[in-house]
Amino acid sequence: MKKTLLPLALFSSLLLADGYEIYKNNCASCHIEMISKEEVLNNLDKMKAPPMVEVSNQIRSNIIIKDDDEDVHKHLFVLFVKDYIQNPELSKSMCHPGALERFDVMPSLKAKLTEQEAQEVATWLYERYEGVSFR
């Protein structure tokens, strides 16, 4: 048992690190990683997009599943984010109407990210903010 558990744990932490690198290289210029609501209000004119902590919280709480299965919830979250970053559209956005009025629709990153990278950054977006709320 131990033999298989260790490499798996290593593998998933490597994946997480990769997701963070992908975030830093492709998303951080627009989406701040961590900020409080108060700081957002004080820096509204400098914000190019909703902060990542808000994006993650918003999608996490909007996706509601019937049987409360964490894996299914995560899977749907990742699917939504992957699709959104490749094919963003106003009609799909779960952002607050206020945020959508402020910001333009996100540009598609389809040409910049591979399928695997989109998967990794979406997984990072879920895991990074587990138990971290936007307040």
Instruction: Give the interface with ligand HEC as residue ranges (CB under 6 A).
Output: 26-27, 29-31, 48-50, 55, 58-59, 81, 84-85, 88, 93-95, 100, 103-107, 109, 121, 125
Cβ proximity to ligand HEC, 10 vs 115, nearer residue: 115
Cβ proximity to ligand HEC, 53 vs 81, nearer residue: 81
- Helix, strand, coil shares of the chain as percentages rounded to 5? 65, 0, 35
End-to-end CA distance of the chain: 41
Does residue 114 contact residue 22 with C-beta atoms inside 8 Å?
A: no
Closest approach, Cβ 15 to ligand HEC, in A, equals: 15
Cβ proximity to ligand HEC, 6 vs 104, nearer residue: 104
Distance CA 86, CA 105 (A): 12
Closest approach, Cβ 28 to ligand HEC, in A, equals: 8
Closest approach, Cβ 122 to ligand HEC, in A, equals: 7
Of 81, 101, 102, 103, nearest to 92 by C-alpha is 81
